[in-house]
C-alpha cells in the first residue's frame, strides 16, 4: 500500500471522528504541517507516529492499511462525469453513463442512457427490477409485448425478466435515467 492510500485512510478516519487537522495534530503531538503531509501522502511516517495517530483516533493501526475503506455516505457525480460502462445495450450503440459506480454494495445501479435515432431496436431480459424516467426525446418501450410511448417526464417501473425492447421514435436522442435494482430478499 502506498503513502497516498494510507494518508487517505487517516484523513477519512479523522473526519469520521469529527476532528480538524489542527485538533488531531495537537492531540497526537505533532505539527499540523506534518499531519497534512501524511494525509496527502507527501511523506512516509515511522510506525511510532502512526501508532500515536491511531491511539488518538481510537482505532487500530491496521485500519490505516485497509485497501478499501467503508462506503462514503454519498456519491456526487457531476454532469458529464459519470463512468462510461459497456453493458448489453452497448452492442446496439446505446451509451450507458454510470452515475454511482464508486459506491459499493448498492441495491440500485443508476445510469443515464442515451439512444440515438436509427440505433437498432434493443431486446433485453434480465433479473432484478428496473425503473426508467424520461428526460428528453421520445421512444417506444415494449414490456412483455405491451408497447408504451414514452415522453419527457414519463416514468416506468417494471419486471425486467419480461422481454423488453426500446426504439427511438423522434428525431432527437432519447435520454433517460435508468435504475437497475437487485431483488432484495425479505
Give the CATH number of the domain where residue 25 resides: 1.10.260.40
Which of these, 159, 146, 151, lies nearest to 176 by C-alpha position?
A: 151
| pLDDT (0 to 100) of residue 69 | 47
| pLDDT (0 to 100) of residue 145 | 93
Q: Is 61 helix (H, G, I), strand (E, B) or coil?
A: helix
Instruction: Determine, yes or no, domain membership for 75.
Output: no
Residue 102 sits in the same domain as residue 174: yes
Ranges of residues in the chain whose predicted pLDDT is under 70? 1, 62, 67-71, 85-93, 102-106, 183-186
State the total domains in the chain: 2
Residue 8 sits in the same domain as residue 54: yes
The full length of the chain comes to 186
- Take residue 61 and report the three cell numbers written for it: 493501526
| pLDDT (0 to 100) of residue 144 | 94
Residue 7 sits in the same domain as residue 46: yes
| pLDDT (0 to 100) of residue 181 | 82
Which of these, 182, 178, 185, 126, lies nearest to 157 by C-alpha position?
A: 178
Residues 6+ apart with CB under 8 A from 174: 113, 114, 115, 134, 136, 137, 138, 139, 150, 166, 168
Residue 24 sits in the same domain as residue 102: no
| pLDDT (0 to 100) of residue 94 | 78
Residue 151 sits in the same domain as residue 89: yes
Residue 94 sits in the same domain as residue 48: no
- Expressed as residue numbers, the domain containing 156 is 83-181
Give the CATH number of the domain where residue 176 resides: 2.60.120.10
Q: 98, 85 in Cβ contact below 8 A?
A: yes
Residue 109 sits in the same domain as residue 59: no
Instruction: Determine, yes or no, domain membership for 157.
Output: yes
| pLDDT (0 to 100) of residue 68 | 61
| pLDDT (0 to 100) of residue 134 | 98
- Take residue 57 and report the three cell numbers written for it: 483516533
Global pTM value: 0.60
Residue 112 sits in the same domain as residue 51: no
State the Cα–Cα distance between residues 44 and 33, nearest whole angstrom: 13
Instruction: Determine, yes or no, domain membership for 136.
Output: yes
Amino acid at each position: 500500500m502506498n503513502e497516498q492510500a494510507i494518508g487517505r485512510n487517516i484523513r477519512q478516519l479523522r473526519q469520521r471522528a469529527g476532528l480538524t487537522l489542527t485538533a488531531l495534530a495537537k492531540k497526537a503531538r505533532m505539527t499540523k504541517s506534518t499531519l497534512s503531509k501524511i494525509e496527502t501522502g507527501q511523506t512516509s511516517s515511522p510506525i511510532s507516529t502512526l501508532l500515536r495517530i491511531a491511539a488518538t483516533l481510537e482505532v487500530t493501526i491496521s485500519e490505516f492499511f485497509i485497501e478499501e475503506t467503508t462506503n462514503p455516505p454519498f456519491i456526487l457525480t457531476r454532469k458529464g462525469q459519470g463512468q462510461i460502462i459497456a453493458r448489453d445495450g452497448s452492442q446496439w450503440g446505446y451509451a450507458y453513463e454510470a452515475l454511482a459506480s464508486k459506491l459499493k454494495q448498492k441495491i440500485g445501479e443508476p445510469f443515464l442512457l442515451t439512444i440515438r435515432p436509427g440505433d437498432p431496436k434493443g431486446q433485453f431480459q434480465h433479473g432484478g427490477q428496473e425503473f426508467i424516467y424520461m428526460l428528453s426525446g421520445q421512444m417506444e418501450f415494449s414490456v412483455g409485448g405491451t408497447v408504451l410511448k414514452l415522453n419527457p417526464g414519463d416514468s416506468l417501473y417494471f419486471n425486467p425478466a419480461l422481454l423488453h425492447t426500446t426504439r427511438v421514435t423522434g428525431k432527437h436522442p432519447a435520454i433517460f435515467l435508468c435504475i437497475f435494482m437487485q431483488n432484495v430478499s425479505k
